[in-house]
Chain A
Amino acid sequence: MIALPVTADDRRIARYTAAAIALTIAEAALPSPLPGIKPGLANIIVLLVLLRHGWRDALWVGLLRVVAGSLLLGQFLAPGFFLALAGACASLLTLAAAVRLPRRWFGAVSLSLLAAFAHIGGQILLARLWLVPHDGVFYLVPLFATAALIFGSINGLVVAQLVAVVPAPTFPLTPPEVHSS
């Protein structure tokens, strides 16, 4: 039998990812006026992980929740999956740069706004290059940008609140009892 060693890092990432997936699933149940306009609640978790544990962990959580979330929703490898992946990659790359902004001046709301705009940017770029090879997609940019502004701000405020109120991880990181049968 092959045993893969599980580190504390793995457990932490898995738990945060589970929370992000839960929010992804919950959000999929919400009606949306336009495909692609969503609150992006899972990004709250990604930003929280970024501020607490750094970009590497945020990258894991951000990508894992796209893959696992799409598997659970039956969207894996469907166009929506690639759009979500493009959005997640764009926002994670942006966050890699944005996290270097002076923390004294720029808080979670800045990170969240930049990530939200990068998210729609990545999605629209992929849609333009692949799904709808026509400039007509740019017609929707103002609507997506408005959604990014609103949800980016709200998510950022939620993250700022969480970071301020719960400064350190409070959940137990000890491995749960595993019963092999």
Chain B
Amino acid sequence: MLLQLRNVFKWVQQGGQRIFLLKDINLEVAEGEFISIMGPSGSGKSTLLNVIGMLDTFDEGEYDFLSESVHTLKEKYRSNLYKEYIGFVFQSYHLLDDLTVEENLEMPLLYKKIKGSERKALVADMLDRFNIVGKKDLFPTQLSGGQQQLVGVARALIGKPKLILADEPTGNLNSQQSEEIMQLFKKLNEEEGVTIIQVTHSEKNAEYGSRIINLLDGRKI
């Protein structure tokens, strides 16, 4: 078992009323799964993803990650936990425009205090694996959307996470680029056993996964 959510609620107070963002969510994810979260806008997909990624808190319920109780952990341990085990991929890539492809890949390693020579090796390895060695000195703005997202995925993977959280990773891409990214996810999942949870609007993309979770108004249906 990688993670487990039990009776998770999240709400905001608006004009004396509780607006529920997540309502009684129960979810178990085993290692090696590939899950797609679907649902209309405002149904709480991204919120759920952020809660799983520990970027966001929740108001009620329990969350275990690798048998640590996330809801009782202090902020510092929580961030250590996600730094260690989780990689994020975003719809708008979120690469640092001031850094080259190579430097963008290197950044998470810096924060993990990995030595220079080892960083170099890991980055070179990743560039090689994603076939972007020739682009290592380019800046994100010099790349196509698909290439940027490729870098985004590479960056998420470089810390060797157990779990990849992808928030509409193909939302800004055309169909051919989408296809490539989804193939990549599938390959990572199948060949390397990386657990993947993605939020998507696309039925087609959702089918790459092994399981689909549908949300409506913060509730699992």
Partners in one complex: no
Residues in chain A within 8 A of chain B (CB atoms): none
Residues in chain B within 8 A of chain A (CB atoms): none
